[in-house]
Structure 1
């Protein structure tokens, strides 16, 4: 896969008996794993090698009013040596009033030579909620890792909730206030409400409360299996019916 793909679309609406799902395959083939009248659990199955130089992967998620969607990744993603060719990974999610989105994302590994732009755009209507985990790993074993720029923009009822632009290119990430020598950035977002506990989760992870309804827990380290505090936050925050 070395050219722009059709956006993968997952749309869920509550309906009598069983939720209605609209699935459009692209870089991923979405598969319904289960659900009820209000929502569905949908797995993303890659339809080809990801992520290669020149790839432009787009995932569009639509969750109707009062509905829920859980996105399940069947495997992590590796951005491979691009030989100078940039690639991109874009997630666009729109939630209606009272909707819920949960995505406990698997690791996104940026191999040596990769050059990736990640964009996450979240639009929440009244009383919508999102739990989203994003785990960036800089390099495979023994590698320093390529360049990745990760931008997240979230709005709630038309007002900005979170805007973050994280440049993790090799020449920038070692600067003070970025990630230093760490190679794993593991984060989980709660959007649309303020989780009750305001304490830091410990084990090297820190919680940041947003100015609006939401919070972010982030862990920096070298060994992904040590980020158990992020696992705990995902488990505590997920709000499936």
Structure 2
């Protein structure tokens, strides 16, 4: 298991598993950590677990130096990628993930669990790509769970294991790249017409494209990231206790 724990005062606890965490910079209460593959990923039967803890009042930025490919498992068992995140009171996590590619013949399960204490905020970018160039892509099941102060904030299951079903216009259609920017624990300060606002403090923006570089969510990421800069507040201060399912803004 890979471990990245940031404690108050800036103390870091790092442990290498399938991923090797490397400190890029550190300040009092803040750190920037790179995630580097310690071996070839993802192969049949791989079980990658990343445990992230950000202490109260601390700020952590995670950086991926390269994308991840789930390779053809040639009939072997599915590979899994599990991320567990726990944020203390007033903590902040930003993680701009690189593409997660599911090649032909691969079966991958991806799970992200985020547990936020009161006043904590997480900004995440996840890009899922079905297949390398010229491929249709393998099977992918992606689950996301987020809780704020012990109450559900976001629950989502994305089942892309059936190639025929995912080609439906109601799912991916002709797209093979699903890019998502998720803000948890705060509401976007500006207008984002394509964003899905959660009932509690949070939102997600999503783009379906044929190629990862064609996504237009870079602007959304930069705008929401700027909101998290010191001295910038959001709607979470006005609705600190609200949490629930996703709803379209009315």
Tell me if both proteins adopt one fold, taking TM over 0.5 as the criterion: yes
Partner of residue 65 from structure 1, selected from 56, 80, 86: 56
Partner of residue 201 from structure 2, selected from 213, 217, 220: 213
- Superposed CA deviations along residues 32-91 of structure 1, whole A, max 9, x for unmatched, are 100210110000111100000100000000000000110000110000001122010000
Unmatched tracts of structure 1, length 5 or more:
1-6, 201-205
Distance in 1, matches of 2:191 and 2:172, equals 23
**Structure 1 residue 196: deviation in Å?**
1.5
Instruction: Output aligned runs, 1:219-234, within 5 Å.
Output: 219-228=207-216, 230-234=217-221
Distance in 2, matches of 1:156 and 1:77, equals 29
Aligned to 1:4: none
Distance in 2, matches of 1:171 and 1:40, equals 44
Give yes or no for contact 1:68–1:240 (8 Å, CA) kept in 2.
no
Give yes or no for contact 1:100–1:240 (8 Å, CA) kept in 2.
no
Aligned to 2:152: 160
Partner of residue 34 from structure 2, selected from 30, 43, 56: 43
Report how many aligned residue pairs link the two structures. 226
Query: Secondary structure, in 3 states, of the residue corresponding to 2:195?
Result: strand
Give yes or no for contact 1:13–1:39 (8 Å, CA) kept in 2.
no
2:15 maps to 1:24: yes
Normalized against structure 2, the TM-score is what? 0.88
Instruction: Output aligned runs, 1:167-186, within 5 Å.
Output: 167-169=159-161, 170-186=163-179
Aligned to 1:125: 117
Aligned to 2:25: 34
Distance in 1, matches of 2:28 and 2:108, equals 38
Distance in 2, matches of 1:81 and 1:210, equals 36
Partner of residue 14 from structure 1, selected from 8, 12, 16: 8
Distance in 2, matches of 1:36 and 1:87, equals 36
CA RMSD of aligned residues (A): 1.0
Aligned to 1:139: 131
Alpha carbons of structure 1 residues 70 and 240: separation in structure 2 relative to 1, 3 Å: farther
Alpha carbons of structure 1 residues 71 and 233: separation in structure 2 relative to 1, 3 Å: same
Distance in 1, matches of 2:191 and 2:81, equals 32
Query: Secondary structure, in 3 states, of the residue corresponding to 2:222?
Result: helix
Unmatched tracts of structure 2, length 5 or more:
231-250
Normalized against structure 1, the TM-score is what? 0.91
